[in-house]
């Protein structure tokens, strides 16, 4: 395969990854989803009916019903990266005298990540049930703004505790609801936000570590090839240094799979690091993603004196409920349990 074909495949794979990731994030209002909807509208009239219904059904199944598809996809991608790392990078790194202990870090991280991933999937996020609801109602006071007292969920027919939300995918109300995550096929709520955070950080560490090892390996390969000091004779008979384009082309042709993997890992790393930072920020200021989205419409008139008066105002903005960083973290890692009322 020549360089351009490979490069084209590479770009397509990266684009597909971006599409998948944007779609999974599940927030209806991402600019990407708007774009996708518009594309759908434009191509719609030209696609056969059966294809339309098929894709609609598939999307519905994937994103609006509980299913393990993304868990399988997750394991598949991980398996591919680890197979590639083990069979190609590992041996090369051993040859360059990278120590065994630094080469085993990715496997340790894999074990840690799998543990948190499992807990995210298996842990009940804090489902509001008939039995527990009376205790769950007392965990948080209603703020009268985002959460009003005495509102019942029309589906579950139970009074909604403050900070809870009905998850349409799982069809249940969840206490301290954060969001529904398709990658773990579970809601993130009071009881598993801590595992979700640890999971995000361990995936970042995993991707970052493998990317570093792979980058180091490619660097050594380039140094070894002598391309950095090589030169060629151009059409006019002048001697020219090989330059970075030659190096990239050389790497693409010599280690196509490894270069693919490295690009994928760097992409995943930055994406998830951003996501992990956002969720850490939320944890530190005692907010759920749900509350964050809901309170976006509120305008602080103190900061925006020219804002129209009929917009909902909230002077205290988003920090209102924070009693300090440590207590906020404490609440994530030791979530308050529903008060059990004793019957006498
Ligand atoms: C977090 O916010 C809730 C209300 O949304 C409040 O009841 C709770 O006490 C706060 N926790 C901390 C640690 O500040
Ligand atoms: Zn409900
Ligand atoms: Zn859910």
Query: pLDDT tens digits for 220-231?
Result: 988 888 877 777
CA of 332 to the centre of ligand 1 (A): 11
* DSSP structural state of residue 272: H
Q: What's the CA gap between 287 and 318, in Å, rounded?
A: 8
- Long-range contacts (CB closer than 8 Å, 24 or more residues apart) made by 146-154: 146/291, 146/294, 146/295, 153/128
Domain-located, residue 311 = no
Nearest CA to ligand 1 atom 3: 321
Domain-located, residue 262 = no
Residue 153: which domain range?
Answer: 127-175
pTM: 0.82
Residues in the chain: 344
Domain-located, residue 70 = no
Q: What's the CA gap between 316 and 301, in Å, rounded?
A: 10
How many domains does the chain divide into? 1
Return the residue matching tokens 């868990």.
71
What is the DSSP code string of 111-133? Answer: HHHHHHHHHHHHS---B--TTTH
What is the tens place of the pLDDT at every residue in 248-263? Answer: 888 888 898 899 899 8
Domain-located, residue 153 = yes
What is the tens place of the pLDDT at every residue in 293-310? Answer: 887 755 544 445 555 555
Domain-located, residue 165 = yes
pLDDT of 301 reads: 46
The answer on pLDDT for 30 being more than 60 is no
pLDDT of 207 reads: 96
Return the residue matching tokens 């019957």.
343
pLDDT of 33 reads: 64
Q: Which atom of ligand 1 is nearest to the CA of 324?
A: 14
Nearest CA to 197 out of 280, 254, 125, 318 is that of: 280
User: pLDDT higher for 18 or 127?
Assistant: 127
User: pLDDT higher for 122 or 305?
Assistant: 122
In this structure, the residues whose C-beta lies within 6 A of any atom of ligand 1 are: 140-141, 163, 286, 321-323, 327-328, 331
Nearest CA to 104 out of 116, 119, 89 is that of: 89
Tokens of 184: 């773990």
Q: Which atom of ligand 1 is nearest to the CA of 291?
A: 5
Query: In whole angstroms, how large is the CA radius of gyration of the chain?
Result: 25
Domain-located, residue 156 = yes
Nearest CA to ligand 1 atom 10: 321
CA of 272 to the centre of ligand 1 (A): 27
The answer to whether residues 195 and 188 touch, using CB atoms and an 8 Å cutoff, is no
pLDDT of 25 reads: 56
Give the model's confidence band at 15: pLDDT under 50 very low, under 70 low, under 90 confident, else very high.
Answer: confident
| β-bridge partners, 232 | 240
CA of 320 to the centre of ligand 1 (A): 9
Instruction: Average the pLDDT over 184-188 and give the result.
Output: 94
Top-confidence range, 21-35, 157-171, 248-262: 157-171
Average pLDDT, the chain: 84
pLDDT of 29 reads: 53
Top-confidence range, 4-13, 133-142, 190-199: 190-199
What is the tens place of the pLDDT at every residue in 197-243? Answer: 999 999 999 999 999 999 999 999 888 888 777 777 888 888 887 77
Tokens of 139: 């965990």
Domain-located, residue 158 = yes
CA distances from 24 to 11, 99, 180, 292, 343 (A): 20, 38, 10, 19, 45
The answer on pLDDT for 339 being more than 60 is yes
Nearest CA to ligand 1 atom 5: 321
pLDDT of 48 reads: 81
User: pLDDT higher for 16 or 313?
Assistant: 16
User: pLDDT higher for 31 or 43?
Assistant: 43
pLDDT of 315 reads: 45
* Residue 98: φ, ψ to 5°: -70, 135
The answer on pLDDT for 190 being more than 70 is yes
Domain-located, residue 160 = yes
pLDDT of 300 reads: 47
- The SS3 of residue 255 is coil
pLDDT of 31 reads: 60
């Amino acid at each position: 395969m020549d360089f351009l074909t490979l490069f084209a495949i590479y770009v397509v794979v990266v684009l597909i990854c971006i599409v998948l990731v944007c779609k999974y994030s599940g927030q209806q209002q991402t600019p990407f989803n708007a774009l996708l909807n518009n594309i759908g509208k434009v191509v719609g009239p030209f696609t056969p009916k059966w294809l339309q219904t098929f894709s609609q059904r598939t999307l519905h199944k994937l994103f609006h019903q509980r299913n393990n598809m993304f868990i399988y996809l997750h394991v598949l991608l991980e398996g591919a990266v680890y197979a590639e790392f083990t069979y190609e990078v590992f041996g090369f790194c051993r040859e360059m005298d990278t120590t065994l202990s630094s080469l085993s870090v990715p496997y340790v991280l894999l074990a840690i990540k799998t543990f948190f991933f499992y807990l995210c999937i298996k842990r009940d996020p804090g489902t509001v049930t008939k039995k527990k609801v009376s205790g769950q109602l007392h965990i948080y006071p209603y703020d009268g703004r985002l959460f009003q007292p005495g509102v019942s969920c029309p589906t579950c027919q139970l009074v909604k505790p403050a900070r809870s939300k009905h998850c349409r995918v799982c069809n249940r109300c969840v206490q301290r609801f954060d969001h529904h995550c398709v990658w773990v096929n579970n809601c993130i709520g009071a009881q598993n936000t801590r595992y979700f955070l640890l999971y995000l950080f361990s995936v970042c560490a995993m991707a970052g570590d493998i990317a570093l090892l792979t980058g180091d390996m490619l660097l050594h390969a380039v140094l070894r090839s002598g391309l950095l000091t090589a030169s060629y004779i151009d059409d006019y008979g002048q001697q020219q240094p090989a330059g970075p384009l030659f190096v990239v082309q050389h790497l693409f042709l010599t280690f196509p799979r490894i270069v693919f993997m490295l690009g994928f890992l760097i992409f995943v790393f930055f994406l998830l690091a951003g996501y992990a930072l956002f969720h850490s920020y939320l944890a530190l200021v005692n907010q759920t993603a749900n509350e964050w989205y809901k309170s976006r419409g509120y305008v602080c008139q103190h900061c925006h004196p020219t804002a129209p008066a009929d917009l909902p105002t909230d002077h205290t903005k988003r920090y209102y409920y924070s009693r300090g960083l440590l207590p906020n973290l404490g609440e994530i890692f030791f979530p308050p349990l529903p008060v059990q009322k004793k019957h006498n």
